[in-house]
Chain A
Amino acid sequence: MLWLCITLPQLPLEALQCEQGERPTLVTVLEGNVRSVVCCNPAAGRIGLQPAMNFTTALAILPEVIAMERRLTAEQAALERLATWAYQFSGTVILGELFADLQRARTTALWLEIGASLRLFGGFRKLIEQLEAELGKLSYSYQLGIAPTLEGAALLARTGVRVAITTAAALRARIENISVHWLNLDPWITQQLQSVGVRTVGLLLALPRDGVAKRFGPEVCNYLDRLTGAAPDPRPTYRLPPKYHARFEFDAEIHSTEALLFPLRRMLREFVGFLRARDTGVQKFTLRFVHRDTVATVIHVGLSMPDRSSERFLTLARERLEHTELPSASVALELSAETFAMPTGLNVDMLSGATEHGEELGHTLDRIVARLGENQVHGVKAVAEHRPEHSWTTAAAEDRRPPLDFPDRPLWLLPEPKPLQLSGMPALTGAERIESGWWDGGDVRRDYFIARTQQGAALWIFKDLRDGSWHLHGFWS
């Protein structure tokens, strides 16, 4: 087993917003009766605000700083979305625990077993490159660590040591000089260790086990065993859900469509990660914009063929969003998809021109449907029916087999027959009687003719035999 650990030191902040704002922003948490800073954005860091600082001090430095309350549900949702995304790189993903306490708020992690994926991705460097390229697009701050044990990889990630360590012996050698305060132990214990002079991991590992267990409790020894690989570290792996459902809670209400695109983009990229992990695509997904007071706005995004391109998803979603009036500001965004299908472009010969054409057609029609609405783009087909208005119907692409032979018909049909006031009887030709429909109440008894106007136009008109009225029904254009 070889574990890649991704730690997310800024998750408390980044789970709530994904653009790096220009205004100093921080996340705080109340412990006992002291409010402290959990993490802050770069703008806040530049003016001297930092994690673990007392919030009162932070306010003294910058009274107008934007402060958000830490929200564990948002962090859990973000971590789960990331785990789903990470599945594309590994079949074994483990979610780290979220710690409510201030000291461990910035240690949230997830692990990927990469030993089995190395060959698939063409080696170590390629896997990491690809993973970092994708991870970078999601706009999370992260640190990576690679080691044969879960805790070892996490420790390396937290300390920012960018070395891949593949054996237990190398790991032990590498962590000897690391300060004990980086260890995933109760903060009270690390303080105790430092106060008695045990400052490095190496010194702690050299102490007699019994003594450590007696003084600090057996869990310290257990942890050290799992860290070094002396004891196994079984944990439940994250299971890929059969349906996709992701939620992004915003730090504040988002009013503008433009601003909604930031979380939307991140969510679509994570979604594509899920699709890659499942090795599939989608033809339909649903966005729910959650509002505080009113019912959520639901947008269904449909594609003419299965796809998994986050850019195309974004183009379509954006087009729909721009034509949707959101009743009020959004407090959260949800993305869900239930049915999946292999993207057609991926499972057939990529060099085939026909496929390329088909895909291009699909994308063009999708864009138009996204802008004009589902019912505004369609094909037509003929139906074996005597009544002209029932002898055609709108149709989807797959279903347009030509039916039986048809009598001669005009190219233009009016949506509804239009009553005609005839002044004198025009020259009529091409008489055809159409009688039908008594069985479904759409009773029709008509004599159709072709009438020529002075401008040379040929009209398709009929006399309704039930009341003798004349109607225009089409043009021989």
Chain B
Amino acid sequence: MSASRAETLEQLARLCRNGREGPPPRVEPSGSASLDAVLPGGGWQSGTIVELMPVSDGIGELRLLMPALAKITQSERHVAMIAPPYIPFAPALLRHGLRLEHFWIIRAQSAADILWSAEQTLRCKSFGAVLAWPSAIRDREVRRLQLAAEAGSSIGFVYRPPSAAHESSPAAVRLRLQADAVGQLNVDIVKCRGARAGMSLAVGGLESAGRQRLTANT
């Protein structure tokens, strides 16, 4: 089955379900108007899997999600990070407005445990967003996470290496992240339901104070 056909079928299935299942998906604005303009639903939409493929660490791959994560924790839903590559630094999370009592770190080790934990948390209605760093993930597993996110009305952000951009994936939204020499974050749309792939957006308005200071001093 070709990727586009599979997608059509998936969309059809979704349409059928929409008829029966009550609440429309929740949408968290990303904090960037240009990004919201291309994202389906106008922001990060519950019940979807978003793949993020940063070219290196430290370019703003986490900052991109901070406005949405802060809002989710402020509205009493929980956020989990599964197998993050470094320590999510509490003082910085606080400055970004995250309510730490609604934030969880799950230090799963094996690929199976990471995906299992992601599925469990996505499926749980208490979680609004789940960020996962799987060492490897296959199409079948992305679909499983997709179903879990739909069941729990949560958003799944899956971080993958930049090389994954060349592979296909059933995830609804796939974004490649890079930064220019002055640290401006650019989002390349690899795949986005309802938007043209291949677009590239400079995402502004998401700078942390640190970046502002950086630009100010340069």
Are A458 and B58 neighbours in the complex by a CB distance under 8 Å? yes
Are B181 and A368 neighbours in the complex by a CB distance under 8 Å? no
Q: How far apart are B181's CB and chain A's nearest CB, in angstroms?
A: 6
Rank and list the top 5 A-B pairs by shortest CB-CB distance, nearest first. Answer: A456-B179, A475-B58, A457-B58, A361-B126, A392-B90
Partner-binding segment picked from B19-27, B41-49, B98-106, B193-201: B98-106
Closest B residue to A399 using CB positions: B101
Are B92 and A455 neighbours in the complex by a CB distance under 8 Å? no
Q: How far apart are B96's CB and chain A's nearest CB, in angstroms?
A: 7
The digit string for A411-425, where 1 denotes a CB below 8 A from any CB of B, is 111110000000000
20 A-B contacts (beta carbon < 8 Å): A364-B126, A368-B106, A372-B108, A375-B107, A379-B101, A380-B105, A382-B94, A406-B95, A408-B92, A408-B208, A409-B210, A411-B63, A411-B208, A413-B87, A415-B87, A430-B210, A450-B214, A455-B55, A457-B57, A477-B62
Report B's interface with A, CB cutoff 8 A: 54-63, 66, 76, 78, 84-96, 100-101, 103-109, 113, 116-117, 120-121, 123-127, 178-185, 208-211, 213-214, 217-218
* B-contacting residues, A352-379, CB 8 Å: 354, 357-358, 360-361, 363-365, 367-368, 371-372, 375-379
- The CA of A407 and the CA of B91, in the complex, are separated in Å by 8
Are A457 and B62 neighbours in the complex by a CB distance under 8 Å? no
Does A195 touch B at the CB level, under 8 Å? no
* B-contacting residues, A414-447, CB 8 Å: 414-415, 427, 429-430
Does A294 touch B at the CB level, under 8 Å? no
- The CA of A473 and the CA of B205, in the complex, are separated in Å by 26
- The CA of A397 and the CA of B101, in the complex, are separated in Å by 6
Q: How far apart are A474's CB and chain B's nearest CB, in angstroms?
A: 6
Q: What is the total of A-B residue contacts with beta carbons within 8 Å?
A: 192
Does A33 touch B at the CB level, under 8 Å? no
List of A residues within 8 angstroms of B60 by Cβ: 476-477
Are B107 and A372 neighbours in the complex by a CB distance under 8 Å? yes
What count of chain A residues pass the 8 Å CB interface test?
A: 57
Q: How far apart are A436's CB and chain B's nearest CB, in angstroms?
A: 15
List of A residues within 8 angstroms of B85 by Cβ: 412
Does A410 touch B at the CB level, under 8 Å? yes
Closest A residue to B66 using CB positions: A411
Given contact pairs A409-B95, A456-B178, A456-B184, enumerate 18 new A-B contacts (beta carbons under 8 Å).
A357-B125, A368-B121, A372-B106, A372-B113, A376-B106, A376-B107, A380-B93, A382-B100, A402-B100, A408-B213, A411-B63, A415-B86, A429-B218, A430-B213, A452-B182, A456-B179, A456-B181, A476-B214
List of B residues within 8 angstroms of A383 by Cβ: 90
Q: How far apart are B80's CB and chain A's nearest CB, in angstroms?
A: 9
List of A residues within 8 angstroms of B57 by Cβ: 412, 457, 475, 477
- The CA of A394 and the CA of B89, in the complex, are separated in Å by 10
Are A408 and B180 neighbours in the complex by a CB distance under 8 Å? no
Does A391 touch B at the CB level, under 8 Å? yes
Closest A residue to B57 using CB positions: A475
List of A residues within 8 angstroms of B58 by Cβ: 410, 412, 453, 457-459, 475-477
